Structure 1
Amino acid sequence: MNNFIFENKTKVYFGKGGVKEYLGCLLDHYGDTVMLAYGGGSIKRNGVYDEVMGILNAKGKRVVEFSGIMSNPTYAKAQEGAKLARENHVDLILAVGGGSVSDCCKVISAQAKMDEDIWELENTKHTFPTEFIPLGTIVTVFGTGSEMNNGAVITHEGKKIKGALWGAQADFAFLDPSYTLSVPMKQVISGAFDTLSHAMETYFGKPDENNLSDDINEAVMRSVIRNIRVLLTDPENYDARSELAWASAMAENGVLKIGKVTDFQCHMIEHQLGAYTNCNHGAGLAVIHPVLYRHICKSGTARFARWAQNVWGIASKGSDDETASAGVEALAAFIKEIGLPTTFAELGIPADTDFRAIADSTNITAGCCKKLTHDEIYDILCECK
């Protein structure tokens, strides 16, 4: 295993009723003005908004609302939030929603404390913010694991780039699986597949030899696969939802990445696809993953064969090549089984989309078992049509 330093600052309150029991006490540690950030308004329909506002009002907090954060948050939206937070001298940002809300608020937290443009700071000067407005999250849609790290995926519409920025990490996170009961099943499954993708993107990184991080990762992947299947037959199953909620956090809180150089080539391709099409993230990953893995599995045969056997339960086919390929096809079959799209056409992406521009603007990652060219990425995108 490679050398590493590990710390995770986020305190997690997991389970039913956590917000009601603990949020009020936490608010005592912050100032008077709280920015309540959320998306399209579902928290008002499912009762979460009223619950949180009741606690904020009981604590005498001045609430500044910032709504309308979209599923693929834009840089302009983050800048809008930063301006609002700065003008109102916000003491705490409370992000209520899924990963998009959390990601946007991480950038708001940092940008509000600095005069320099955060995109240029990080992407041109390659330096990072050091001051933040404190951040807390209440997760209502699981999948991204954003609540336990400082990474944010933001779409810069002007540059046609969807990429990572590094902002604040939440001081605390509430993970109440019961909040997901009002989320459409399609969104729940898409989010859960994003979790599986995060785990795979870490697992297929380097080094290839067996290590504890990958042993844990295999268990996380098996759990996600099993519990997605449970939800499809029993949508109200709280235990399955709770397992998926914690798997989501585990896949992105750094534990699975200890000692690893991660892959995330599929994410890089999907991010640029999203920059050009604004497609659903989890669904985009579902289309790309099998096609990408068919292209690269022979460059990481032993690792893919182990994954086929230990995650998908496939018996050895006599050679690692055959076993590895069987694992990739098991993934493809699973995606179809759970109702996610298998082509861009199913995802609603037009065939005349500028896939050449998407390919040429995709980052090439260091951890992938095969260093792809932009031409190969273009071929992969074309095969996804």
Structure 2
Amino acid sequence: MKDFIYAYPTKVYFGAKAAAKALPAELEKAGKTVMLAYGGGSVKRSGVYDEICGYLKEAGKEVVDFSGIMPNPTYEKVQEGAVLAREKKVDFILAVGGGSVIDCCKIVAAQAMTDKDIWEMEFKDHVFPSEFLPMGAIVTASGTGAEMNNGAVITNQDTKQKAGVLGAYASFAVLDPAYTMSLPARQVISGAFDTLSHSMETYLGSPRDVTLSDEIGEAVMRNVIRNIKVLMLDMEDWEARSELMWASAMAENGILKIGKVTDFQAHQIEHQLGAYTDCNHGQGLAVIHPVLYRHMYKDSAKQFARMAEKVWEIPAEGKSEEELALAGIEALEGFIREIGLPSTFREMGITDKSVLKKVADTCNLTAGCCKKLSREEILEILEECW
């Protein structure tokens, strides 16, 4: 295991009526004006918006609405939020939604505190923001774990980049499974697959010897697989929703990454696919993972074989290391079919094949990947996903 320093700034309120425990205490620390950020109309239809507004009014806060944050938040939307925060002299941002809303708010919190362009700061000057508007997060769609870190995935439509930008941490996060109950089943499952993807991409990083972080990761992956299967039988199962919500947090609060250089090559490919197609993130990952892993497994057969045995519970007896590794990839592929996620880009509704080369030419190549992929091989992978 590599050397590390671990500290964690986000206080988590988990469980039924968690907002009732969190907000009265946490809003005392906020200033007078609170930006209430959310996506479309689902927060209002579900009653969550009115509930949160009630807490804000009880605390004597002035509320500034910032709505319409899209599933793949754009840099233009970030700038809109930052302008609004400055104009209204916002003291605190409360993000209510899934990963997209929370990600957007992390960068709004940074951009509102500087006249410099955050994108240029981070990608051209390699300077990262150090001042932020304070923020909290109320999770209504789990899977991304966005409430648990300061990274945000933002799409810059001008440059055709969907990339990770560093912004603010939430000082607190509310995780109440009740807030996820109104989500469509497909959204719940694709979000949960994102959690599995985070865990796999951390696990398959380096070092390639087994660490405590990896063993915890194996437990998280087994938990996600088991509880997705429970939800496939009963989407109202409270316990399964609770487990998946906490698994999402565990996959992105840094615990699984301690002492690791992570892989995340599948994420980097999918992000650029999203930049060109605005596709669903979890579905894109479901298509990419098995194909990518078939291109990689021989370069880290030991890790893939262990994942097959410890996560997919495939007996090792009578199999070579490579055979066991491949059996694990086949189990992953079968699981994706079982839970109703797509296995090709065409199933996702992507019709323009010409974007594949653009994705291959522009996606990031990650340091922790067990195989150094060329642009040509990434294009080959994408064409196999087609």
Deviation at 1:22, TM superposition (A): 2.6
Deviation, 1:20, is 1.8
1:89-238 pair list within 5 angstroms: 89-238=89-238
Distance of 1:284 and 1:360 partners within structure 2: 18
Deviation of 1:90 after TM superposition, in Å, equals 0.6
Unmatched segments (≥5 aa) in structure 2 = none
CA distance in 2, matches of 1:87, 1:262: 40
CA distance in 2, matches of 1:96, 1:22: 14
- Is this contact kept in 1: 2:106–2:168, CA < 8 A? yes
The ranges of structure 1 where at least 4 consecutive aligned residues each deviate by more than 4 angstroms after the TM superposition are none
Alignment-derived partner of residue 343 in structure 1: 344
CA shift, 1:352, in A, is: 2.7
- Partner residue, 1:73: 73
What do the CA deviations read for 1:181-206 (whole angstroms, capped 9, x no partner)? 10101000000000000000000000
Is the contact made by 1:143 and 1:193 (CA closer than 8 Å) also made in structure 2? yes
Give the Cα–Cα distance (whole angstroms) in 2 for the partners of residues 87 and 311 of structure 1.
51
Q: Distance in 2 between matches of 1:183 and 1:67?
A: 18
Deviation at 1:174, TM superposition (A): 0.1
Maintained 8 Å contact 2:270/2:281: yes
Task: Return the alpha-carbon distance in structure 2 between the equivalents of residues 185 and 23 of structure 1.
Answer: 29
Aligned AA for 2:228? Answer: I
C-alpha separation between the residues in 1 aligned to 2:165 and 2:270? Answer: 16
Counterpart of 1:26? 26
Rounded Cα–Cα distance in structure 2 between residues aligned with 1:340 and 1:187? 10
Aligned to 1:252: 252
Contact 1:92 1:135 survives alignment (8 Å): yes
Structure 1: how far apart are the matches of 2:81 and 2:2? 39
1:125 alignment partner, SS class: coil
**In structure 2, what is the equivalent of residue 42 of structure 1?**
42
Using the TM superposition, give the Cα deviation of residue 249 of structure 1 relative to its aligned residue in structure 2, in angstroms: 0.4
Give 1:25 deviation, angstroms.
Answer: 2.0
The letter of the residue matching 1:65 is D
Alignment of 1:269-308 (within 5 A): 269-308=269-308
Aligned to 2:326: 325
**Inter-partner Cα distance in structure 1 for 2:82 and 2:229:** 40
Deviation string, structure 1 residues 131-160 (Cα, Å, up to 9, x no partner): 000010000000000101000000000000
Q: Distance in 1 between matches of 2:286 and 2:267?
A: 11
* Mapped contact 2:227–2:243 kept (Cα < 8 A): yes
Pick closer, same or farther for the CA change 1:31–1:351 going to 2, 3 Å: closer
CA contact (8 A) 1:24 1:59 kept: yes
Partner of 1:372: 373
Look up the match of 2:54.
54
Cα pair 2:160 2:276 within 8 Å, conserved: yes
Q: Distance in 2 between matches of 1:211 and 1:21?
A: 36
SS of residue in 2 equivalent to 1:85: helix
Deviation of 1:351 after TM superposition, in Å, equals: 4.6
Once residues 84 and 46 of structure 1 are traced to their aligned partners in structure 2, the CA distance between those partners, rounded to angstroms, is: 26
- What is the alpha-carbon distance in structure 2 between the residues aligned to residue 146 and residue 242 of structure 1? 17
Q: Which moved more, 1:345-354 or 1:233-242?
A: 345-354
Percent identity (aligned): 63
What's 1:352 paired with? 353
Give the paired residue count.
Answer: 385
Q: Distance in 2 between matches of 1:178 and 1:232?
A: 18
Aligned-residue RMSD, C-alpha: 0.7
- TM-score normalised to the size of structure 1? 0.99
Contact 1:15 1:175 (C-alpha < 8 Å) held by counterparts: yes
1:296 and 1:210 mapped to 2: Cα distance?
18
CA displacement 1:25-59 (0-9 Å, x = unmatched): 21111110000000012110001001000111111
1:345–1:351 CA contact under 8 A, matched in 2: no
Q: What letter corresponds to residue 31 of structure 2 in structure 1? A: G
Residue 93 of structure 1 contacts residue 135 of structure 1 at CA under 8 Å; is this kept in 2? yes
Which stretch shows the higher mean deviation, 346-355 or 104-113?
346-355
5+ residue gaps in structure 1?
Answer: none
Aligned partners of 1:155, 1:119: CA distance in 2, in Å?
11
Deviations 1:9-34 (A, max 9, x none): 00000001011233122111111000
Instruction: Find the aligned partners of 2:69 and 2:169 in 1 and give their Cα distance.
Output: 18
Q: Is the 8 A contact 2:265 2:365 kept in 1?
A: yes
Give TM-score, length-normalised by structure 2.
Answer: 0.99
SS of residue paired to 2:381 = helix
Asked whether the 8 Å contact 1:297–1:325 carries over to 2, the reply is yes
Local SS of the residue matching 2:181: helix
Q: Which amino acid aligns with 1:291?
A: V
Question: CA offset at residue 87 of structure 1?
Answer: 1.0
Q: Contact 2:13–2:21 (CA<8 Å) still a contact in 1?
A: no
How far, CA to CA, are the matches of 2:297 and 2:110 in structure 1? 39
Q: Partners of 2:285 and 2:257 in 1: how far apart? A: 20
For residues 348 and 72 of structure 2, the distance between their equivalents in structure 1, rounded to whole angstroms, comes to: 16
Contact 2:22-2:174 at 8 Å conserved across structures: no
